[in-house]
Amino acid sequence: MSFRRPFPKVKIPIEDVSEPTDPLGKLLVSEEEIHDFQGKKKCFQTLLAHPEARIQLERSLKRMALLEDLLIRVIVSNESVEHIVADRKQRDIE
């Protein structure tokens, strides 16, 4: 049983093939921004390795999540801030 291609094999002359002018495309960020980001990433990893800094970071992330929840409930649900705070205190007691 021989294998047959569904389409005939066509040879394209090399002159007809266009080469892209910029094979990588335009970068969305500059080399300097990439270098800065790598430095920030290294600093962040160093902070996470430190136990006290990790605790502070986790507390900050929890506060940010609570504030985001508060903003969403106020803006989307039109709840009052006092009602949300009272509800949160009630949940903390339970």
- Asked, for residue 77, whether it belongs to a domain, the answer is yes
- Asked, for residue 7, whether it belongs to a domain, the answer is no
- Asked, for residue 52, whether it belongs to a domain, the answer is no
Can you give the pLDDT at residue 3? 59
> What is the tens place of the pLDDT at every residue in 48-81?
889 998 899 899 999 999 999 999 989 998 888 8
CA nearest neighbour of 69 among 48, 50, 88: 88
Residue numbers of the domain that contains 93: 65-94
Can you give the pLDDT at residue 41? 94
- Asked, for residue 53, whether it belongs to a domain, the answer is no
The CA–CA distances, whole Å, from 45 to 34, 64, 80 equal 16, 20, 39
Global confidence as pTM: 0.48
Share of the chain above pLDDT 70, in %: 76
Residue of higher predicted confidence among 3 and 89: 89
Provide the domain count of the chain. 1
